[in-house]
Chain A
Amino acid sequence: MKYLLVGLVFTIGGFFGYGQKHFSISGSVYDADTKDLLPNVIVKLSQNISRTNAGGYFVINNLAPGSYTVQFEKLNYEIQIASFGLADRDINVNIYLDKAATKIDEVKISQLSKDRLARESSAVTYEVTKDYLDQNRENTLMQSLQNLPGIQAMGIGVGQSKPMIRGLGFNRIVVSQNGIKHEAQQWGSDHGLEIDQHDAGSIQIVKGPASLLYGSDALGGVINLRSLSVPYSNGMVGSVQLLAESNNNLLGTTFGLQARKDRWFYRARFTLNDYGDFKVPADKIIYENYVFDLSDKHLRNAAGTEKDMSFSFGYADSSFKTETFLSNYNAKNGFFANAHGLEVRTSSIDYDHSDRDVDYPYHTVNHFKMISNSTLIFDHHELRLNVGFQNNVREEHTEPVAHGYMPKPVGTLDRRYVKNTLTADLQDEMKFSSKHSIVFGVNAEYQNNGIDGWGFLIPSYDRFTAGVYAYDKLEIDDNVFLHSGLRYDLGTISTDSYYDWYPSLLGSDMKYLKRASDNRSKFDHISAVAGLSYIRNKTNYKINIGKSFRIPLASEFSSNGVNYHMFRYEKGNQDLRAETSYQLDAEASYENGKVGLSLTPFINYFDNYIYLNPTANYFETLQVYEYTQNKVFRAGGEISAEYRPFTKLGMEATAEYVYSRQMNGLKKGFTLPFSPPFRALFSVNYLFNNIWFLQDLRLKTDLRLSAKQNNIVPPERTTDSYGVLDVALTAVIRAFKEQHPTIRLKINNLFNQKYFDHLSFYRLIEVPQPGRNASISLTIPF
């Protein structure tokens, strides 16, 4: 018998119970797959044995404060053991039992308490489980998440992508991993997220203002990657996954293990992906008047590799938990050889002799992280300390070419960035009663960026930010939660001057142009949030209003030079103020096990959105783009409906829309760059009967529809509508006695449609999205 152990610490404060009242643990037990309520589940608390009723409900009464371990058992289901800390109130939980045939390869994250917390929160949040990630795995983390309503991936080929939430991307959203803000967005659009997606246990997505807890940048939302939960039992478990894909001949593997010995535990993971040029359903790329013939439909030089490893170790007891993570992400990616950015290139390099090699232009990225998370529980306090160090290095290599007054440079190092970031975050959550808690926190971050190479885009800079905040949660009535918070931030950013290494003609003299100036700017900002959440049985209403901010980037202040890849002259603006955004969110949702409905609209207003405006002027012969601040109005939302008419069939439909408009300035009436088009997703999930040794055989089809995007700003192009069908088949192979591998077959873009993604880096040069891709993965647990 295989035990599946789920740790559930609902109210950790309960380990130190106060008061002598008695409480109850109650809840509903569901089938984890079908979400059907399960009757007759044996519920064991030491000698106390009861069963769930016909409605799948159980209750254990008369419990003194303390910690309890409850076992849930039903024929043909995995046994589940859950721990509860009972402090000062009754606990009501949902328990999900996995079918016995389903072998979970890693300790499963409990989604129970998180689900409840998400419903109590007034912010519009979305919980992504490890199961969802495993079933929807794509090449990059953001591609794995892009079917979620309101989430978009800005792609660069197949191996890299950046996150976008409701049309805001780059530094207007925060990606946080293990409690520390991931710093990788400052370098422009042509590189990805720098995260091994297999390192994420579960993911919380906040679709709305979140500066209050995350500080600068969290205007549009947060993607919060949590680590896997602490292994529950002694011993070691692990899994290895093998992956192959047809479109770009990808071969990949990820190997992970975790072990626990009493209170100590460790985990390790290695991931390797190597892929060739991806194929598009086209024989040629037509960009402006240029025609690039493709060899065998391969987008030449789009190959790459990714090598990641991570290790963590920790200690956990009932009142103290600490874990230290060490991780390194390393990638090398080629860029389309005929045009990079907007720049058309010819070369004598024989790109077509192999579709696996990476030649110029390419980049390498290395992101090292060391993060420590600690939690200490005493009295009514939960003290959390997160400390992180990040070092990332990016090099961009291009064939040297003379440009304008720049003679042909020596070597291939176009740009090099070295960035070090130190972050510390200390929080004290005080639970005054079962109805009232306050979090106090302080947060500080120091960042230093150094540059090298013959190309110039971003100056060297130092940035320091610090914030102090308080967040209050109060249950003002039965199941009505009032949230409010206030935060104050201070920040400074100092940029170093930069002069061209070659002279240019200025007036009648040849001069070394100054392209960034010594500058020091200070900011301070007050963020605030207030919201209500009301849970009534199966219905949940939320309303939330928040003010968030972003400190301008060094490049937004002080660029003053040519970006040759985009063929434009970028001019910074030293008068920029911190970007401020006000957002009103609402949510109405309903879930009864068979039917799920959700509506999440928002309105958003920016006082001073920082926008790189294409002007009608030239510098030399390049168009001048100037950073300006405009008022921007945005609104939109998502709607989703789920229907599970019977246990084996699930259907889902979602739609999302964002409207953006610049309210003043030179582009009044225009939208913002990279505006996502209206999108809809229809998804059908069917569970077949077992066929011989194939069990849990599941077919999933996703039809992704996107409307035409006519709302553009220079230099964008309108993008046509499209519909793409993806199909996936997964099964558990029960050929062996103990361990049961999972196999997954997936075909993306089944009909090999030629379509363009408005959010792709390659959109501007008319490169379509990848053609049909068949992938097979095998996950073997041990």
Chain B
Amino acid sequence: MKLEILKRMVLFSIFIIAASCAKEDEQIDTEKPVINVSYDNAFPKSCAVLKRGNTYIFRALATDNTGIASYGVDIHHNFDQHTHDDQPGVCPLDPKKTAVKPMIYMQNFAVPDAGTSYEIYREISIPQDIDPGDYHCQISVIDKTGWQSRTSVDIKIIE
């Protein structure tokens, strides 16, 4: 009968749906990369003091289960104390002030062959003519899947 057919259609589609849900998932990557900024050679560490006109080697260790794909280094002022770093301890801050010529460093680097463990190693010069004061150094890393980790360190740039 028609009605039986309809009933069977409904039951059949329920079965199909149940069967399609039961299919096993393939393995997907759900792990974020990890950034280490506290090992011995890491630089800068929280509350580090940098001098204008000097060049420093920024070092941090990135690890991930699938592979590091790219990283970014962002140095921006914190003269208005808009945020704080995510490291343990509190760094002493100068009084708030208005930025005149703050240092802005925003660079990213693709590292397609980085593998699962990669040490960020980058020379950065602190220009002579920028505003001294409190800055943040943010290091961020993306893995091949698109998971990103960020960490941020309070630093001070002096004359």
Residues of A bordering B, CB below 8 Å: 288-290, 344-348, 399, 401-405, 407-408, 477, 480, 505, 532, 534, 536, 541-543, 567, 584, 586-588, 599, 601-603, 613-623, 633, 635-637, 657, 659, 661, 666-667, 669-670, 710, 712, 714-715, 718
Contacts and interface: CB of A to CB of B under 8 A. Distances in A.
Interface stretch (B1-9, B47-55, B122-130): B1-9
A138 to B, nearest CB: 30
A541 B10 contact: yes
Contacts, number: 151
Interface in B119-159: 138, 140, 142-148, 150-151
Interface string B25-45: 111101010000000000000
> Closest 5 A-B residue pairs measured CB to CB?
A289-B86, A618-B108, A621-B72, A616-B69, A614-B146
A251 B32 CA distance: 43
A408 B108 CA distance: 23
Given A346-B82, A623-B140, A714-B145, A408 B9 contact: no
Given A614-B148, A616-B143, A621-B72, A480 B14 contact: no
Given A345-B82, A599-B14, A601-B13, 13 more contacts: A289-B86, A402-B102, A405-B104, A532-B9, A534-B3, A543-B6, A584-B13, A617-B108, A617-B110, A618-B71, A618-B140, A635-B21, A714-B147
Contacts of A348: 81
Given A346-B81, A402-B76, A715-B148, A616 B17 contact: no
Contacts of A480: 2-3, 6
B106 A621 contact: yes
Interface of B: 2-3, 6-7, 9-11, 13-14, 16-18, 20-21, 25-28, 30, 32, 69-74, 76-77, 80-84, 86-87, 99, 102, 104, 106-108, 110, 138, 140, 142-148, 150-151
Contacts of B25: 661, 669
9 contacts: A289-B151, A290-B84, A532-B6, A541-B6, A637-B17, A714-B32, A714-B147, A715-B148, A718-B30
A508 to B, nearest CB: 13
Contact of A404 (B76, B83, B110): B76
Interface of B is mostly: mixed
Contact of B72 (A601, A618, A712): A618
Nearest to B16: A603
Contacts of B82: 345-347, 399, 401
Nearest to B75: A621
A123 B70 CA distance: 48
Contacts of A670: 28
Contacts of B76: 402-404
Most chain B beta-carbon neighbours within 10 Å: one of A399, A534, A586? A586
B2 to A, nearest CB: 6
Nearest to A534: B6
Contact of B70 (A405, A505, A617): A617
Nearest to B84: A346
Contact of A586 (B10, B21, B71, B84): B10
B150 A288 contact: yes
Interface of A is mostly: strand
A289 B87 contact: yes
A290 B3 contact: no
A567 B108 CA distance: 15
A669 B30 CA distance: 11
A532 B140 CA distance: 55
Nearest to A479: B3
A340 B82 CA distance: 13
Given A407-B99, A408-B80, A659-B21, A586 B28 contact: no
A567 B3 CA distance: 56
B146 A615 contact: yes
B13 A543 contact: yes
A684 B105 CA distance: 61
B54 to A, nearest CB: 22
B13 A586 contact: yes
A399 B150 CA distance: 23
Contacts of A601: 13-14, 17-18
Contacts of A614: 146-148
Contacts of B3: 477, 480, 534, 536
Contact of A616 (B28, B83, B144): B144
Given A288-B86, A408-B80, A636-B21, A620 B72 contact: yes
A616 B142 contact: yes
A543 B2 contact: no
Nearest to A403: B76
B10 A543 contact: yes
B32 to A, nearest CB: 8
B27 to A, nearest CB: 8
B147 A621 contact: no
A402 B99 contact: yes
